[in-house]
Amino acid sequence: MDLLSTLSGSLMEDFFPEGWDLAKIDACVDDDPSTITKRQTWWHKKFEPVPCESVTDFDMMLGHEIAMTIKQAADEGRDLALILPVGPMGMYRWAVYFLTEWNVSCKHVHGFNMDEWSDADGKTLPANNTGAFQYAMEQAFYGPLGKLTVPKKQRNFATKKNLPTYGDKIGELKSKGAMHAVIFGIGRVCHIAFWEPHFAAEYDSEKAWKADTHRIGAKLHPLTIEQNAITSFKSRTTLVPAYANTIGPGCFLGVDKIIGGADGTLSRGMQWQGLSLWMTLRHKPSTWIPSTYMPTQPGRLFFLTELAGPLVAECN
């Protein structure tokens, strides 16, 4: 007895994105956690999943990867169009540490925050609101870098006015030789930024889906709202906006490097991100599962080994 055998007639029957084949999704999970890094035929030859034994290791290794990418661009004399998430967050402290130790200036970095909470019309939280992604980024990364920080004129946030300019700004930077990198986490429903799986129904082709650079006032999936209630709002669902401004595949695909992170464990053996990680790595690319496109690009995905499982029923 499980969800697949009891789904019919239940309140969950129309809950998941219509393009999800739940049996196929369940088959992505292997009972042997060690197989999670087994290469799949559609992965980019320079894509690498990197297991981390602890949150401390995860934060440090991910932060080092970010700092090394910034340093590499500087050493090559290139600008860097860097797409930034708010979640995960612990890596920013380490990125600041390494950049400071190496005395690497971020004057060549153009930061693009990938998303921001909004209402249905795209109006965002004030920048000084502690729940705003802009506030979080200023506190965790831009501020602590001090004199080495990204110039203010090169910091982009996903406001209703500025988000639509991302595609052109990144395109112009790349036309002049800039490196394009994206840092990302994986959502409960496998979104990248807040690019949700149900958006796939609105596109006639994969090509059209891949080309879209952003969405203003994106309607979030209920699982996304509950994920953030747990991870960012201390379980208070009523504080989570139902909409967000977000980048699209036109910004997070076709990059020179991805830097991903999956650290969605809780406590007492509980977690929320294991299935999402297996889907990302084992499901063939599908517009209904946006994160499945990330392994088709060069770079690394850091993850806590606990997320690999085994994913079995257990009372905690």
Q: In sequence order, what are the residues at sequence separation of 6 or more whose Cβ sits closer than 8 angstroms to the Cβ of residue 28?
A: 275, 278, 279, 281, 282, 283
Residue 315 has pLDDT above 90, yes or no: no
Per residue in 253-269, pLDDT (tens digit) is 999 999 999 999 999 99
Q: What is the mean pLDDT of residues 85-94?
A: 96
> Which domains, ranges and CATH numbers included, belong to the chain?
37-308 (3.40.50.1360)
Residue 6, exposed/middle/buried by CB under 10 A (0-12, 13-18, 19+)?
exposed
How high is the pLDDT of residue 101? Answer: 98
Which stretches of the chain are DSSP H helices? 3-6, 22-26, 55-75, 91-102, 133-137, 166-175, 206-211, 222-231, 249-252, 274-282
Q: pLDDT (tens digit, 9 = 90+) per residue, 232-241?
A: 999 999 999 9
Distance CA 234, CA 223 (A): 15
Structure confidence at residue 9 as a pLDDT band (50, 70, 90): very high
286-313 pLDDT per residue, tens: 999 999 999 999 999 999 999 999 999 8
pLDDT in tens, 19-41: 999 999 999 999 999 999 999 99
* pTM of the predicted structure, to 2 decimals: 0.97
**CA distances (Å), origin 132, targets 125, 218, 228, 240, 282:** 6, 16, 13, 11, 33
Q: What is the pLDDT of residue 313?
A: 82
**Under the phi-then-psi rule, with left for phi > 0, alpha for psi from -120 to 50, and beta for the rest, what region is 190?**
left
pLDDT at 75 exceeding the cut of 80: yes
Q: What is the pLDDT of residue 218?
A: 98
| Mean pLDDT on 69-89 | 97
Handedness of CA 183, 186, 187, 191 (dihedral sign): positive
pLDDT band at 314 (very low <50, low <70, confident <90, very high): confident
At 181 the three-state DSSP class reads: strand
The 10s digit of each residue's pLDDT in 165-215 is 999 999 999 999 999 999 999 999 999 999 999 999 999 999 999 999 999
Which pair of structure tokens corresponds to residue 89?
């967050």
Q: How many residues does the chain have?
A: 316
Arithmetic mean of pLDDT, 53-76: 98
Beta bridge partners of 185: 261
Peptide bond into 290 cis (omega under 30): no
pLDDT at 185: 98
Instruction: Report the SS3 class of residue 40.
Output: coil
Report percent pLDDT > 90 for the chain: 98
Residue 118 has pLDDT above 80, yes or no: yes
